[in-house]
């Protein structure tokens, strides 16, 4: 039996499936697939995902599941973050996925989501020394953490990612030539205290993660 697993991530802009195989101490990605769906647009603008997108979501997961089964995976793990976490009809969506695909969905909280990201960065940079700054820039949330060696000494996360900010403030975008100043003012309250803290540190390395920085 192959030591293979599949993960299906329901993100704000896409559904992403990765199929991986573990050989001794190494993990090899066998397949990575994307399905664009932009659930975040619905959640961040109207607080609920439309029935049409729920139908498309279920179909995409069904197709991913068939591909994963062709690889003879031992387990399929489905998880979601902000786009589903903040949707008022998330319970209905989770029920539909379970009913149509026989898969359970785990929704990560904002803090838990960022901790997993920082852990992943640390795992790929095991020889970190001094103070290090980690930043995660997502479509539904932003997160920053400061570590000393391998310990997090300060972290802050806010439920305002690039897509969410755009949906909240899009009505102003075409009404002013200084939209960037509006964004800066909107975020300043969230980052002021963290900025004071960071200035006291001697940052050795900066790491950024997230689809939005590509």
Give the structural domain span for 179.
Answer: 123-213
Per residue in 155-204, pLDDT (tens digit) is: 766 666 555 666 555 655 555 566 566 667 666 766 676 677 677 777 87
72 dihedral zone (left: phi>0; alpha: psi -120 to 50; beta):
left
Give the CATH number for residue 184: 3.30.420.150
Domain boundary among 107, 133, 162: 107
Q: How far, in Å, CA of 152 to CA of 41, rounded?
A: 32
User: pTM for this structure?
Assistant: 0.70
Q: Are residues 140 and 97 in the same domain?
A: no
- Residue 9's pLDDT is 93
80 pLDDT above the threshold of 80: yes
Please provide the average confidence, as pLDDT, over all residues in the chain: 80
Give the CATH number for residue 99: 3.30.420.40
Look at strands 26-36 and 14-23 and give their pairing. antiparallel
Q: Are residues 128 and 208 in the same domain?
A: yes
Task: Starting at the earlier edge strand, list the strands of the sheet with 142-148.
Answer: 151-158, 142-148, 131-137, 203-209
Residue with tokens 């976490």: 85
What residues contact residue 55 under an 8 Å CB cut-off, 6+ apart?
A: none
First and final C-alpha spacing in the chain: 37
Give me the DSSP letters along 8-59. Answer: EEE-SSEEEEEEEEEETTEEEEEEEEEEE--HHHHHHHHSS--HHHHHHHHH
């Amino acid at each position: 039996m192959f030591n293979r697993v599949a993960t299906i991530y329901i993100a704000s802009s896409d559904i992403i499936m990765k199929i991986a195989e573990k050989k001794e101490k190494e993990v090899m990605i066998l397949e990575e697939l994307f399905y664009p769906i932009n659930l975040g647009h619905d959640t961040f603008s109207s607080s609920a995902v439309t029935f049409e997108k729920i139908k498309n979501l279920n179909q995409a997961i069904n197709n991913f599941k068939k591909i994963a089964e062709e690889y003879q995976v031992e387990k399929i793990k489905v998880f979601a973050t902000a786009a589903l976490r903040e949707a008022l009809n998330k319970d209905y969506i989770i029920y539909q996925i379970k009913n149509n695909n026989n898969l359970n969905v785990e929704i990560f909280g904002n803090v838990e989501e960022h901790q997993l990201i920082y852990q992943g960065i640390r795992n790929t940079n095991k020889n970190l020394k001094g103070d290090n700054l980690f930043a995660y820039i997502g479509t539904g949330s932003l997160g920053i953490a400061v570590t000393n060696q391998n310990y997090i000494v300060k972290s802050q996360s806010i439920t305002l990612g690039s897509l969410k900010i755009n949906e909240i403030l899009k009505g102003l975008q075409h009404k002013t030539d200084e939209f960037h100043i509006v964004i800066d003012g909107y975020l300043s309250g969230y980052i002021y205290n963290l900025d004071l803290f960071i200035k006291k540190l001697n940052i050795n390395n900066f790491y950024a993660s997230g689809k939005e920085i590509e």
